[in-house]
Structures are given as C-alpha cells and as structure tokens.
Amino acid sequence: MAHELDTPVAGATNWQREVAIAAALLAFGLLALPFAVYIVGQQVLGEYGDGLGALALAENIWVDLLSFRLVAWVLVLSPYLTIQLARGVRRIWRRRL
C-alpha cells in the first residue's frame, strides 16, 4: 500500500517531489510553527517577554536562525525531520514484515 508522500506527483521526478515536500515543510517551520509555539507556550508558561506577543517570538526565532543557533534550526527543521524519521521507521518496519 503506497503512502501519499511516496506516490509520485504527475510529471514530477522523485527529487522534484522531495524538494517540494521539503520546501512546504520548511515554510511551515518558518511561518506557522513559531506562532504555534507561542500559543502553546502562552497557555503553559504565560505571556512571552512581558507581553511582546507572537511576532516578537517569531522574530527572535528568525534572528536566531541567522545567528546559526542550533535550537532555532532544530525547531524550524523539525517538521521535515519528523517526516524523514517517520519514513525511515516505516521502511524498517516493512522490511521486518
């Protein structure tokens, strides 16, 4: 049974499909994930930085990316890394069955 991430897009080669997936997940990590982190953090920990808001957190993450801070890179790349981990686990699981 093929998974939707493993089925080729019409006319796209494997690397083009992989680049499209990586770009979409990177965009999600850059644009949506900082705001999701803010919302969850606000509920769990309280207001961020004396009420600075979600944009301040996103800006700090983006600045940390430009400063090559590992934590920011792991956060932004985590959606893509999670998909890659799931693919690897699925391949190992299929080989064992």
Rounded-to-integer distance, Cα 12 and Cα 57, Å: 37
pTM of the model as a whole = 0.74
Mean pLDDT of 69-78: 96
Position 22 pLDDT exceeds 80: yes
pLDDT range class, residue 86, cuts 50, 70, 90: very high
Nearest Cα residue to 32 out of 84, 83, 64, 76? 76
